[in-house]
Every structure is written in C-alpha cells, then in structure tokens.
C-alpha cells in the first residue's frame, strides 16, 4: 500500500507537488491554529468550572462559619439570660445539674427555656429542632418537624462523645436522620458542651441544634453554578452526604476517584460516569474537613467552545481559499523556467547535444540553465572518452575472471591429491586435503555475508582437524553447541580467525595438553558463541591493550598490541558492528598462564538458507 502511494506521488509533476505542498502547509497551519484556539478556549471554560467549584467551597465554608458563629451567639445569649434573669428561677437553674427545688421552679425554668427556643427558632427558617441535655431529668427539646424519642439518652451516642471531647468547640455532624427525633428527613447538626451554669467548672450539659438540608441547598445556590453542574458533598471517609439536583445518579464514587482526591486538598481531573464525561473539581472544607465536589459535563464545557470552533473553521476555509489562489500563481511563476529547462533535457535525452537554452531569470533557476548548457558541452567532450572507459572496464572484468580461476584450480588440485591419498592408502593426507578443500570452497563463495551457524561450525571444525594433525599429541578441541542455534544466522568467517589466534598465541608455547573449546547457546535473548583455550593467557595490561586495539583502533596505544592477535579480532568486531550495530560484537577475558576466552555476541536471526 505504501509502495503504491509512493509511486503515485512520484508520478505527479513538480509543479503540482509544490502547489499541493503549499496548500498542505497552509492547511496544517490553519488546523493547528484552530485546534490550539479551541483547546485554549476549552481550557478557559474548564478553569471557569474549577473557579466555580472553588466558589462553592468558599460559600459552603462561609455558610458553616456563619452557622458556627450563630451557634456561638446562641450560647452567649443563654449565658446573658442566665445573668440578667432576676426571678427566683432562671436559665441558670434550668441548665444547672442540680435538681429543682420545687415544681414551681421547674415550671419557671421550662418557661424560660421555651421563650429562648422560640426566639432562636424565629432567627432562621431552616432550624428544625433544638435539644439540650443536662441530666436524665433535665432534658429540653423544641421541635418544628418530627417527634421526640421517648426516654432518649444521648450519653451513649457518638455525637455526644465527640461534643464532650471537643471541650467547648462546636462539632458539626454530617447529614443524617435526627439523633433525638423520629423524623424521616436528613438534618445537619451542630453540638457543643455547655459550661458555667453551676458553681464548679465541670460540664453542665450539651446543646444540639438541627438544621434542615434547606440550609445546605441555600449555600449551594449562592455559588451560582450552571444548571447542569452537579454538586456532591463527601465526608472525611469519602461517603456521599449530599447530592445536588443536577448530579449524576451514583450511590458512591469509585475508590480510584477517592484515592485521587485524597492526594491533594483541592484539584480537578476528567472522569467518566454512566457513559458521560465530566470535569470533576474538588476542594476540602476548612471547617469540617469534608470535600465539596462539582461535576460539570463536558457537553456543557464544549458548547461554547464548539461555537467558537465553528467560527475558527469558517475563517480557516476563507484563508485556505486565499492560500490556494496565491499558491497557484506563485507555482506558475516559479515553474515556467523549469518547464523550459525540462524541454531542453528531453532534447538531450533524444540525442540532440546541440541544444542551448536562453536564461529567462538571473536567480538560481537561471544559474541552473547556465549549468545545463555547460553540461551539454561537457557531454560532447566526454562521449569519446566514454569508449576508452568501456575498454578499461572490460579489461578489468577479464582480470577479475582470471583471479577467480586460481581458487577453483587449487580446489580441483586438492581433490586430485585426496584421490591419490586414497589410492596410496595415506588417510591423513586425504583428511587434510578434504578439510582444506572444504575450507577453500567455503571461503571463495562470497555471495553471502551471513551463513547458518552450522556452516560456520563445519568450517572451523575442518580448520581444527588440520591443526590437530599438525600438533600431534598436545592439541585437541571440544564442541559444546546447542542444537537449536544451528539454523541461526551469523557473519561469515568469524570463528576460524579467533580459533587461529587461540592456537598461534595461546597454545603453541605450551608443551602439551593444549585444548580449544567451542561453545554456543542462546543467552538473555542473544546468540552467544565462545572460543576458550587453556593457553598462556594474558595479563590485565595485555588484555587492555588488545581491547583498545579492537574497540578504538585509532588510538596510538593500538600500535603497541600484538598485531597478529588484535588485527583479526578488530576486523571481526568491526564487521559485526557494521552488520548489527551496538551492543553486539566481541568481548575478551583471560587469566595469565591459565586461559583465554573470546565471546561473540550476536542477535538471534533465522538463516535464509544453508551454503553448500
């Protein structure tokens, strides 16, 4: 598919390539600017949504602070009533843990509290009930909605314990069914310990004020959010306490969303709920530690952005039409001289070398016409020289064919020697000639730069067999090759030079017991070949000089290494790097007077065929 597309493009004239190229650049610029403007606009709307969430949090914080302030004022008014009441029984007697002296005192105290409750309820329409607990005998309740529970004892309740532990600070309880009432709607409670109504400094009781959920809804309304923006209120455990009318129908937020919101006190991110995308913005309420969450649908965010995008696209279409007109006129102006030059080239192609073009401009195209005229003149002069070059090339090809004859002659001669050895019953000569013939045939076939591992192993085995006959009694070899690697591909003629180094530089100086081990396997996703000898080894300094010559032959220190040992390794390493790149190549390790090991690292690649 891609090849056909490239062929189709290559057949288009340069004029239209330039023309379409300008249009493509203009379209890319216009699309980029339109998309950037759209994204910028959408970011503005997202920021506005985040600001709205922040506004909501500020309103809720302010609302709770106002409620806390009103509770504090209510408590202070109770103290004021207790101090200013000159009757025999007063607020102080009603809230003191001491029992009443008579029914008259109890009646008067109840009347005093009833008047206080009525004043407090008249302050705001969202008050639902007020409850004061001093002792099991002294419990007072004023209820707008609901019914007081019979024989209610708050001392075992969680809200009572938290109020006592707060030691004078107001405690806000999340939306819940009233603690002391039988009522089926949620309320928000403010509770606080009462002190100072008796002679000692101990707690005198607890006051509990319930506000209807209307108070929270009024706080949310003050944020002036979009009608499609949902509002959620979560407690410190992440449980949903309140959901606005526009909120999506969900019982609980996903744990992953709760974890994401727990990473910072405020922020925003994209979520998908019930198949719809929302911008979720959240912030933590300072007063309670609850989280206020807004869910703004992206359909709402994108509504204005889409209108602006339509305007941008309309402007882009107009700009594109203008760009097409300008691109066409500019292309015609530029490519008229090119068309003139093309006609001249066609004539030269047809064999007319007497054509001379007249430059129509002084710019680069005019200079190109001058160069064309010079080229045509040069071609005339080079035609005669071309015949001489052809003759020289034929001569070179002939010499190359002659060079190919000699290896084949040697190979055929070795076959004759092998036959004579069999006739005269000299098997060792036959073995050597057969091995040498195989090596020669393997070496002169240069059509392949890579071969199967099996062919490379067979070649080096032929070499080691010849050397084993040469060094009778103190040289032998072992093979440890994993069968699965035989079909893998390796660079040709990399093992024999390394084995030759091992014998020449490692084993010839040993008196006996010389051994070469050739192993191969897959290691960590790579093909690993290893040539090991138990020769004289090398010192760390010698290893460093050889490796420097192999890895960095341009350094001056490379000339200090043993030429025969390092040049072959360097050439093999360079061929591997040229074929496969880093990190493949050679590694060297040795211990003086003990052993030397050369490791070849190659990628795992299946061979396309076996050389024969």
φ, ψ for residue 179, nearest 5 deg: -70, -45
Q: What is the largest CA-CA distance in the chain?
A: 148
Looking at residue 488, what is its pLDDT?
A: 93
Looking at residue 520, what is its pLDDT?
A: 94
Half-sphere exposure of 477 (CA within 13 A, CB side): 26
Judge whether 489 and 565 are in contact, CB under 8 Å: no
Helix (H, G, I), strand (E, B) or coil at 208: strand
- Decide: residue 235, CB within 10 A, 0-12 exposed, 13-18 middle, 19+ buried: middle
Please state whether the peptide bond connecting residue 583 to the residue before it is cis, i.e. omega within 30 degrees of 0: yes
Judge whether 169 and 203 are in contact, CB under 8 Å: no
Residue ranges of the alpha helices (H) in 127-249?
158-166, 214-221
Judge whether 41 and 305 are in contact, CB under 8 Å: yes
Predicted TM-score (pTM) above 0.75: no
Judge whether 230 and 295 are in contact, CB under 8 Å: yes
Looking at residue 323, what is its pLDDT?
A: 78
Contacts 24+ apart (CB under 8 A), 562-571: 562/505, 564/501, 564/504, 564/505, 565/501, 565/505, 568/497, 568/498, 568/500, 568/501, 569/497, 569/498, 569/501, 569/598, 571/497
Half-sphere exposure of 124 (CA within 13 A, CB side): 17
Looking at residue 11, what is its pLDDT?
A: 64
Instruction: Please give the distance of CA 302 from its chain centroid, rounded to a whole number.
Output: 27
Q: What does pLDDT average to in each consecutive run of 10 residues of the chain (612 residues)?
A: 62 71 79 76 72 70 72 74 57 77 79 80 80 86 87 89 85 87 88 73 78 80 75 82 76 80 83 83 80 80 67 78 79 72 76 73 73 77 60 45 50 64 66 75 72 91 84 83 92 89 84 87 93 91 88 54 61 85 89 92 80 44
DSSP label at 584?
Answer: -
> Would strands 230-234 and 181-182 be described as parallel, antiparallel, or unpaired?
unpaired
Length of the chain: 612
> Would strands 230-234 and 526-533 be described as parallel, antiparallel, or unpaired?
unpaired
Judge whether 130 and 209 are in contact, CB under 8 Å: yes
Half-sphere exposure of 226 (CA within 13 A, CB side): 20
- Alpha-carbon gap, residue 144 to 536, rounded angstroms: 105
Looking at residue 6, what is its pLDDT?
A: 66
């Amino acid at each position: 598919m891609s090849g056909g597309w490239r062929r189709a493009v290559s057949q288009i004239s340069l004029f239209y390539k330039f023309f379409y190229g300008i249009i493509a650049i203009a379209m890319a610029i216009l699309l980029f600017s339109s998309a950037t403007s759209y994204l910028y606009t959408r970011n503005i709307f997202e920021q506005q949504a985040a600001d709205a969430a922040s506004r909501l949090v500020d309103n809720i914080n302010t609302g709770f602070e106002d409620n806390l302030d009103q509770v504090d004022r209510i408590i202070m008014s109770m103290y004021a009533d207790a101090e200013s009441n000159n009757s025999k029984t007063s607020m102080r007697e009603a809230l003191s843990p001491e029992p009443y002296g008579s029914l008259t005192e109890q009646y008067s105290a109840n009347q005093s509290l009833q008047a206080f409750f009525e004043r407090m309820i008249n302050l705001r329409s969202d008050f639902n009930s007020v409850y004061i607990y001093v002792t099991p005998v002294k419990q007072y309740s004023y209820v707008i909605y609901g019914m007081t529970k019979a024989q209610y004892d708050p001392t075992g309740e969680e809200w009572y314990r938290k109020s006592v532990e707060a030691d004078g600070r107001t405690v806000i309880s999340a939306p819940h069914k009233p603690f002391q009432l039988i009522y089926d709607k949620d309320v928000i409670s403010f509770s606080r310990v009462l002190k100072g109504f008796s002679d000692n400094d101990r707690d005198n009781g607890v006051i509990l004020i319930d506000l209807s959920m209307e108070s929270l809804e009024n706080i949310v309304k003050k944020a002036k959010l979009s009608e499609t923006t949902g509002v959620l209120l979560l407690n410190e455990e992440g449980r949903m306490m309140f959901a606005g009318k526009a909120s999506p129908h969900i019982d609980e937020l996903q744990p992953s969303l709760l974890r994401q919101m727990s990473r910072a006190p405020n922020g925003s991110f994209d979520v998908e709920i019930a198949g719809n995308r929302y911008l979720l913005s959240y912030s933590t309420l300072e007063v309670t530690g609850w989280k206020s969450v807004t869910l703004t649908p992206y359909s709402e965010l994108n509504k204005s952005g889409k209108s602006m995008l339509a305007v941008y696209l309309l402007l882009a279409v107009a700009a594109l039409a203008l760009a097409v007109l300008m691109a066409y006129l500019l292309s015609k102006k530029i490519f008229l001289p090119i068309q003139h030059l093309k006609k001249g080239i066609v004539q030269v192609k047809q064999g007319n070398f007497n054509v001379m073009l007249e430059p129509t401009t002084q710019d680069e195209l005019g200079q190109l016409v001058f160069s064309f005229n010079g080229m045509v003149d040069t071609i005339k002069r080079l035609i005669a020289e071309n015949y001489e070059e052809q003759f020289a090339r034929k001569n070179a090809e002939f010499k190359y064919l002659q060079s190919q004859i000699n290896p084949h002659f040697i190979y055929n001669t070795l076959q004759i020697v092998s036959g004579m050895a069999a006739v005269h019953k000299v098997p060792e000569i036959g073995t050597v000639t057969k091995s040498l013939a195989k090596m020669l045939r393997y070496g002169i076939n240069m059509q392949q730069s890579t071969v199967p591992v099996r062919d490379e192993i067979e070649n080096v085995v032929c070499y080691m067999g010849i050397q084993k006959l040469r060094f009778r009694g103190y040289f032998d070899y072992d093979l440890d090759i994993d069968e699965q690697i035989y079909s893998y591909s390796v660079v040709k003629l990399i093992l024999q030079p390394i084995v030759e180094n091992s014998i020449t530089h490692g084993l010839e100086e040993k008196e006996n017991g010389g051994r070469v081990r050739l192993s191969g396997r897959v290691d960590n996703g790579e093909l690993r070949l290893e040539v090991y000898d138990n020769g004289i080894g090398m010192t760390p300094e010698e290893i460093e000089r050889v490796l420097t010559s192999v890895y960095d032959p341009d350094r001056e220190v490379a000339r200090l290494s043993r030429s025969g040992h390092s040049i072959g390794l360097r050439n093999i390493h360079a061929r591997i790097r040229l074929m496969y790149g880093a990190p493949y190549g050679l590694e060297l390790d040795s211990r003086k007077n003990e052993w030397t090991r050369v490791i070849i690292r190659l990628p795992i690649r299946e061979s396309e065929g076996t050389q024969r």
